Amino acid sequence: MIQTIQTTPYADQKMGTAGLRKKSKVVMQKYYIENFVQSIFDVIGNLKGKTYVLGGDGRFYNDIAIQKIIKMAAANGVSKLVIGQNGFLSTPASSNIILKNKLDGGFVLSASHNPGGENGDFGIKYANQSGGQCPSSTSEEIYKHTLNIKEFKICDAPDIDLSKLGHQELCGMEIEIIDPVIDYVKMMEDIFDFNAIKQLFAKGFTMRFDAMNAVTGPYAQRIFEDILGANKGSVVNAIPLPDFGGLHPDPNLLYAKELINLMFSDQSPDFGAANDGDGDRNMILGHNFFVTPSDSLAILTDNYKLIPAYKNGIFGVAKSAATSTAVGRVAKAHNIGYYEVPTGWKYFVNLMDSNRITFCGEESFGTGSSHIREKDGIWAVLFWLNIIAATGKSVEQITREHWQKYGRSYYMRFDFEGISTDVADKLMADLEAKLPSLNGKSFENYHISNAAPFIYNDPVDHSSTKNGLIIKFADGSRIVYRLSGTGSSGATLRVYLEKYDTKNLNGDPLKMLENILEIALNIAEVQTRTGKQHADVIT
Ligand code: VG1
Ligand code: CO
């Protein structure tokens, strides 16, 4: 039943910030998935005795891709696959299954926060035995392999019935279909004070969780409504749909509009949250109030003692370089380790494995801890609920008190999308060349103290990664420039701005950052080079 089929390489199967991400139509080309997956199996080698987890966020083409991967795993000699029922598994749930059962890795079929559907995006994240996505050195090796691939192996058999829980067999490989939610819920119960949160809801606390028609609906309904007692209907857009019901499952101020409108209205519940396509991102809102992800990371870290799993102490904390420095001040106050890494969760994995950090986060609505090796959307929501239950304070109160204590990092990100790759690459190259000449220069009241590329030297595997360009000012303000590594066409320039203030805590972020924005766009000649006067997305 095992067939070896001849194929020819594709030139574009390079993983980005988080796995392979392409237009669905690209992935639907003949043997596209097969080439990529065979390359992973070839690079891992020696698959006998190995077990992998497999699932996805339910987006368009998941059903086809998952059957291909199952049949290829069997033909390549994998011993066992653990698969989420009906092909569903969130990214955090998948990481948990790898760690808890000491599996050899796994595949999450998702393009995360990118839109789905036939005209949307598709993606594959590959995790190794760490429970996190493979390091860049491995993805580079896989990419090289895709450029020379000549054949792949596949088991010629009917599709597996993914709705049936329990054990099956295919071409000598064991398949176990599991409930995607049970183990994840258990893990959350072990971390947080569910009783305190139950009492909070019993006293009439209200929330709205927007699952954006993506994978977290079933997890959120089970946890928030069934177990914790939030009102029925608190979780909306709860059924995962192949095209996310036309929504763009990116939990931010632009794409989670329905939730934002509710939270900034008189009908607002006490608390609002949303997750992305594969359940690893989160957005936190109070009544009339938005918490930036950078502040959220700082606030969670500052309050670790309120959470049962962390109350006896935490290792350090890490953030991506583009994320605001707010959490750095918290790390200093608590006298714990503090690390800055390139963008992408894979860079946190070594720090967690070596007990250097417990918490980590990114400005792109990602927060998490060493309970797994991916960011975790529902974990962050539960952390906030646990703080609220323990303190009796609102989201706004908690955040404002944090600013009183530590000062406030005004922070925003401006994305310029759909730029031609050549223009974007040249913009970054020219800017990098110009950085040394900027050192010591002043723009009105802003004095540049340092302008340099961000280079990360991993303390564990000693790899070195360059990611983004940073301009630092004497008053602590910062500009970070990066090109996105998750898009499926053209280039996206991200400009991240930060300004620290200890006196004016109630400013409007856009106003506070107005001058720095102008400086940032001028230095990089963004408008003249891209032809865009304004950012496409502001978060
Ligand atoms: C974006 C975010 C980054 C995040 C990555 C994956 O990458 O900026 O912080 O880790 O997406 O998130 P980029 O290269 O486009 O800036 V997810 O939720 O797609 O796994
Ligand atoms: Co995601």
Pinpoint the residues of the chain covered by CATH 3.40.120.10: 2-180, 184-406
Taking 3-state DSSP, the helix, strand and coil percentages for the chain, each rounded to the nearest 5, stand at 35, 30, 40
- Backbone φ, ψ for residue 449 (5° rounding): -100, -25
The tokens of 440 are what?
């010591």
Q: Please report the pLDDT score of residue 276 as a whole number.
A: 96
The DSSP letter of residue 404 is H
Give the pLDDT score at 488: 86
Q: In the prediction, which pLDDT does 367 show?
A: 98
Q: Please give the C-alpha separations between residue 501 and each of 39, 340, 404, 408, in angstroms, as whole numbers.
A: 50, 21, 10, 5
Which residue's alpha carbon is at the smallest distance from atom 2 of ligand 1?
Answer: 364
Best residue among 14, 110, 126, 486 to mutate for probing ligand 1's pocket (most ligand atoms within 8 Å of CB) is: 486
Residue 529, pLDDT score: 96
The pLDDT of residue 177 is 98
CATH architecture of the domain with range 408-538 = 2-Layer Sandwich (3.30)
Residue 277 CA: which ligand is closest? Answer: 2
CATH 1.10.520.10 fits 2-180, yes or no: no
Ligand nearest to the CA of residue 114, numbered in listed order? 1
Ligand 1 touching residue 281 (CB < 6 A): yes
Strand order of the sheet with strand 289-291? 235-236, 207-210, 271-275, 282-286, 289-291
Q: Is 112 a catalytic residue?
A: yes
pTM of the model: 0.96
Q: Give the architecture (CATH level 2) of 184-406.
A: 3-Layer(aba) Sandwich (3.40)
* Radius of gyration (C-alpha) of the chain in whole angstroms: 23
Half-sphere exposure of 252 (CA within 13 A, CB side): 17
The catalytically annotated residue of 94, 112, 294, 296 is 112
Nearest 5°: the CA angle 243, 252, 518 is: 130
* Pocket perturbation via mutation, ligand 1, pick of 14, 15, 17, 22 by most ligand atoms within 8 A of CB: 17
Please work out whether the CB of residue 485 comes within 6 Å of at least one atom of ligand 1: yes
Going 298 to 304 to 310 to 315, the CA torsion angle's sign is positive
Q: How far apart are CA 311 and CA 304, in angstroms?
A: 6
Token pair of 532 as six digits: 């865009």
Q: Report the candidate in 31, 26, 28 with the shortest Cα–Cα distance to residue 12.
A: 26
Six-digit token string for 32: 């596209």
For residue 125, the ligand 1 atom closest to its alpha carbon is: 20
Instruction: Give the position of tokens 């088991």.
Output: 155
Cβ–Cβ < 8 Å for 157, 73: no
Q: 195 CA to middle of ligand 2, Å?
A: 29
Could you report the average pLDDT of every consecutive run of 10 residues in the chain (539 residues)?
A: 97 95 96 98 96 97 98 98 98 98 98 94 97 95 98 97 96 97 98 98 98 97 98 96 93 94 97 97 97 98 98 97 98 98 97 98 98 98 98 98 98 96 97 95 92 97 96 96 92 97 96 96 96 94
Task: Copy the structure tokens of residue 217.
Answer: 């609906």
- Give ranges for CATH 3.30.310.50 in the chain: 408-538
Q: What residues are paired with 366 via a beta bridge? A: 281, 362
